[in-house]
Amino acid sequence: MLAVGASTTASAATLVANVDISSQTMTVTHRGKVKYRWKVSTARSGKVTPAGSWSAKWLSKNHRSSRYNNAPMPYAIFYNGHYAVHGTDQVGRLGRPASSGCVRLHPENARVLFELTRREGLKNTRIVVRR
């Protein structure tokens, strides 16, 4: 029964950010149409980016990490505890594993996704992470 509810929630989402860990990419689908494909960085060796599907939980435009020396996490979309999709100042590392577990994006792409999430609403935004 839980799987049915989860798929109903996923199919009801108007904004879906699909993260592919193996290719270090994100594909953003808005209202059923692919809108963007971006490079990301997920967890480096020894760290974990959990796989699964979550609705967005909360937004923080100018977030700073409480775990990693106040590191900037602009346009953060939190989806699973302390895991978030957010911008990074380490854009040269995008396209390969580099994070402590979050999904990093170019800050401009993070801004676009953040604004789409704000417009569509948290409950209508899904973050899907696959290996």
**Catalytic residue set:** 86, 102
Determine which helix (DSSP H) or strand (DSSP E) holds 2, and give its type and residue range.
helix 2-12
Give the Cα-Cα-Cα angle 26, 31, 33 (nearest 5 degrees): 60
- State phi, psi for 34 to the nearest 5 degrees: -65, 125
